[in-house]
């Protein structure tokens, strides 16, 4: 029986305070399909998923699984009904072994004692079923992030999950790991497991998924077969009527006569990158394309003085950069790869995060000039469209896109001469993404040099005037954006 619905969510409503977050949502998942689930931050998709996994209880509506209505009071109830969710931030315990994680809280026993051998045996079975060669006795902290995903999946399978929800599963995976993840997701599908696949990455969705659903403002605005629709239709559905995406490339004119801002000369760091040299001129946006592990983040760290190169020099406007203090003083800003770990102090407020790198600007004597900073942060909240009730709100309460805008704002206030962006739109919804691209363009138009690192070629192609290609720590080529006809050209350059 094809097209049989394994899951139906009918007229689901959920209100927080007086704010309706889910407005009579109807969603159906067919047995054995891979169903993409998209929507901007605040669209309600994570609330809907929390209702489905028993984290939140619904105000009204019905959840029907295999024709039977269910009520989930706790996540355990949802688990018992065959629903498992794999979170963006993996929920594994790093100091325990793979097998211990897979059977956490459901350990096989003999009598009163744990039966470790049985746990290892069953783990090995499930992992082998997935076609993965992961040692069940390895500690999770010692395995790659791709392998962690597989362990999460194995954990879900060990509970006989019929419905698997995956939240941005590829956000921390390399290209190679991503393709093996896709292989496994397809395999699960052929075994009759139904998958809800949450992602912001368009290309993935068209490659992997059968159908797609888009949420906006607490309701579902589109459900269709992926084959029937184009990327533009999806973007329009997410953004809503009357908004225009800035993810189209715009030719920005030549900068070959502008002064050199960044001059990187023969930098080498053992095991990471070799003999890398390039320049960026004022007003230029340069992309750095390379696979994960190609040394791209390490090069950004060397330029910003976080970890200097073993040899070679980095100069900004003629000044040699050795430490982070030098870099900041010379006018370099870095929006780092991990905004949660490197970019922000999550428990601190928007204003405090904004102020941190700018204590040298907002001060009188040894004292912090809070009034001056407060005025500036309000300007930036307005300018960048940061959605927050107040500058005093803790950053962890903001959505990913708004968090990233806070990171941007704390550097933009310094009017940097060189802005380095490392994966600036990772885990950021499409609306914020297009805002960020626009902000960067404006900064470059005002004469700043920009270096963008991204795994999403779509994004590099949208922003860059010139793209540097990095392979295994070597700069192998430089492409003028005008000469790149399609994404495939860039894929080929990076992988050949």
Q: Applying CB under 8 A, which residues contact another protein?
A: 15-17, 19-21, 42, 44, 47, 55, 217-218, 304, 306, 324-325, 328, 334, 336, 341-348, 352, 355-357, 359-360, 363, 366-368, 370, 387-389, 393-394, 397-399, 410
- Which of 387/441 has CB closer to another protein? 387
- Nearest-angstrom CA–CA distance, 401 and 388: 11
Closer residue to another protein (CB): 54 or 473: 54
Cβ atoms 452, 464 nearer than 8 A: yes
Strand order in the sheet with 466-471: 332-335, 418-422, 449-453, 285-289, 466-471, 474-480
Nearest distance in Å: CB 17, another protein: 5
Residue 139's SS3 state is strand
Find all residues with CB under 8 Å of 438, minimum gap 6, and list them: 246
The residue assigned the tokens 């225009």 is 244
Q: How far is residue 419's CA from residue 450's CA, in Å, rounded to a whole number? A: 5
**Contact between residue 212 and residue 199 where contact means Cβ atoms under 8 Å apart:** no
Tell me if 342 sits within 8 A of 349, measured CB to CB. no
Which CB sits closer to another protein, 176 or 396? 396
Nearer CB in complex with another protein: 126/355:
355
Identity of the residue, 16 or 141, whose beta carbon is nearer to another protein in the bound complex: 16
Minimum separation from the CB atom of position 363 to another protein (A)? 5
The two structure tokens encoding residue 375? 């005025």
Instruction: List the structure tokens of 151.
Output: 């362990």
Question: CB of 362: closest distance to another protein in angstroms?
Answer: 9
User: Which CB sits closer to another protein, 283 or 401?
Assistant: 401
* Paired tokens of 94: 């790093």
H/E element, 329: helix 324-330
Residue 343 structure tokens = 């970019």
Question: In the complex, what is the shortest distance from the CB of residue 342 to another protein, in angstroms, rounded to a whole number?
Answer: 5
Our CB check for another protein shows the closer of 256 and 366 to be: 366
Residue 442 Cβ vs another protein, minimum distance, rounded to whole Å: 23
The C-alpha atoms of residue 316 and residue 332 are separated, in whole angstroms, by: 8
CB-side neighbour CA atoms (13 Å) of 177: 17
CB of 45 vs another protein, minimal distance in Å: 12
In SS3 terms, 344-370 reads as CCCCCEHHHHHHHHHCCCCEECCEECH
Residue with smaller CB distance to another protein, 47 or 101: 47
CB of 354 to another protein, least distance (A): 10
Rounded CA-CA distance 200/390 in Å is: 27
Give the span between the Cα atoms of 391 and 413, in whole angstroms. 15
Q: Which is nearer to another protein, 300 or 475 (CB)?
A: 300
Helices assigned H by DSSP within 385-463: 400-412, 430-445, 457-463
Cβ distance to another protein smaller for residue 13 or 175:
13
Buried/exposed 150-176: b ≥16 CB within 10 Å, e otherwise: bbbbbbbbbeebbbbbbbbbbbbbbee
For the bound state, the minimum distance from the C-beta of residue 104 to another protein, rounded and expressed in Å, comes to 16
The strands making up 60-65's β-sheet, listed across from edge to edge, are 19-30, 5-16, 60-65, 68-70
Q: Closest CB to another protein among 158 and 399?
A: 399
**Could you tell me the smallest distance in angstroms from the CB atom of residue 122 to another protein?**
28
**At 29, phi and psi to the nearest 5?**
-120, 125
Smallest gap from Cβ 26 to another protein, in A, equals 18
Q: Least Å distance between CB 53 and another protein? A: 11
């Amino acid at each position: 029986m094809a097209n049989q619905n394994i899951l139906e969510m009918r007229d689901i409503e959920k209100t927080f305070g007086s704010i309706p977050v889910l407005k009579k949502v109807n969603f159906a998942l067919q047995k054995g399909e891979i169903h993409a689930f998209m929507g901007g931050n605040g669209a309600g998709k994570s609330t809907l998923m929390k209702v489905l996994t028993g984290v939140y209880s619904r105000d009204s509506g019905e959840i029907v699984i295999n024709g039977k209505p269910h009520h989930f009071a706790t996540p355990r109830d949802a688990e018992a009904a065959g629903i498992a969710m794999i979170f963006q931030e993996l929920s594994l315990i790093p100091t325990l072994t793979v097998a211990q994680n897979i059977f956490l809280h459901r350990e096989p026993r003999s009598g009163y004692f744990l039966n470790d051998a049985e746990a290892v045996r069953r783990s090995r079975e499930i992992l082998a079923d997935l076609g993965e060669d992961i040692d069940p006795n390895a500690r999770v902290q010692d395995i790659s992030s791709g392998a962690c995903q597989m362990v999460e999946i194995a954990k879900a399978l060990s509970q006989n999950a019929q419905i698997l929800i995956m939240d941005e599963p590829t956000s921390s995976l390399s290209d190679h790991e991503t393709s093996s993840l896709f292989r496994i997701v397809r395999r699960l599908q052929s075994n009759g497991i139904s998958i809800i696949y949450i992602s912001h990455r368009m290309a993935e969705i068209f490659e992997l998924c059968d159908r797609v659903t888009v949420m906006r403002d607490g309701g579902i605005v589109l459900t269709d077969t992926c084959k029937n629709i184009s990327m533009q239709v999806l973007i329009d559905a997410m953004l809503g009527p009357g908004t225009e995406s800035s993810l189209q490339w715009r030719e920005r004119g030549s900068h070959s006569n502008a002064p050199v801002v960044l001059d990187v000369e023969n930098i080498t760091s053992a095991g990471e990158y070799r003999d890398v040299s390039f320049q960026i001129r004022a007003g230029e946006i340069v992309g750095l394309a390379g696979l994960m592990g190609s040394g791209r983040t390490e090069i950004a760290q060397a330029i910003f003085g976080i970890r200097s190169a073993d040899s070679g020099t980095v100069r900004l406007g003629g000044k040699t950069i050795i430490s982070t203090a030098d870099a900041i003083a010379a006018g370099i800003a870095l929006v780092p790869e991990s905004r949660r770990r490197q970019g922000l102090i999550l428990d601190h407020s928007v204003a405090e995060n904004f102020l941190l790198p700018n204590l040298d600007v907002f001060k009188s004597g040894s004292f912090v000039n809070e009034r001056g900073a407060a005025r500036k942060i309000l300007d930036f909240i307005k300018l960048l469209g940061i959605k927050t009730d107040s500058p005093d709100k803790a950053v962890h309460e903001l959505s990913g896109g708004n968090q990233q805008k806070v990171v941007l704002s704390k550097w933009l206030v310094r009017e940097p001469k060189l802005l380095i962006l490392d994966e600036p739109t990772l885990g950021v919804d499409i609306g914020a993404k297009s805002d960020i691209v626009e902000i960067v363009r404006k900064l470059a138009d005002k004469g700043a040099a920009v270096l963008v690192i991204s795994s999403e070629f779509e994004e590099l192609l949208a922003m860059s005037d010139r793209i540097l290609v990095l392979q295994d720590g070597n700069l192998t080529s430089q492409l003028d954006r005008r000469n790149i006809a399609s994404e495939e050209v860039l894929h080929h350059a990076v992988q050949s």
